A = this chain, B = another copy of it.
Amino acid sequence: MGAEAQRTEEWADVTPDAARRLLTAAVQAFAERGYHATTTRDIAGRAGMSPAALYIHYRTKEELLFRISSVGHRLALDILRQARDGAGTPAERLAAAVRRFVRWHAEHHTTARVVQYELGALGEEHYAEILGMRRDTDAAVRAIIEDGVAAGDFDVPDVRGTTLAVLSLCIDVARWFNVEGKRTPDEVGELHAGLVLRMVGYDGTLPTGV
């Protein structure tokens, strides 16, 4: 499945068609220039519409950002929760979590960039709502690490700090990942999964799997 196919799939349940086109146009524009440097005319232009058309489907420019941020956080959270609740040893589940989380940030790095770096532009209420999802994200990763510590598979002196560092390492992929670069999302995910297992003091070999 190519990146293009996934990009449309990601917003598949946004209707009507024009609203989805505006949304994907906004994702691209926000990712390229940032929220504040993007004009409503630019978004509408990319979607092949007049500026006024935007306001039929969204009340403000900020609502567009919130919708993107909301869907993006939901997707990222689902990835981590699936790994947390999946089968296998803590090492296998942590490796799977990192692999998929990193792969998502690389593959959908435009969306991920908006999701991770444009939070500050959200309105107060929307920001608070997103913050809740981010706390859940942290909790999901922490749960896996705590499982590993309890099982005696991991050696982690500072669980909260290490959780933060693991998430930090994964999220930052969205900042530097470049489609023109030599590394595929799969390769980056694999590399990071290995690094994270070392960070938690797992002394076995990197488990394979999705």
**Which residues of A come within 8 Å of B, CB atoms?**
33-34, 36-37, 117, 120-121, 157-158, 161-162, 164-165, 168-169, 171-173, 175-176, 183, 188, 191-192, 194-195, 198-199, 201
Contacts and interface: CB of A to CB of B under 8 A. Distances in A.
Contact of A34 (B34, B172, B192, B199): B34
Contacts of A176: 164, 168
A168 B164 contact: no
A162 B192 CA distance: 9
Contact of A165 (B36, B120, B195): B195
Q: How many identical subunits does the complex contain?
A: 2
Contact of A168 (B34, B117, B161, B173): B173
A194 B156 CA distance: 11
B117 A158 contact: no
A165 B157 CA distance: 21
Contact of A198 (B171, B183, B198): B198
A191 B121 CA distance: 31
B162 A168 contact: no
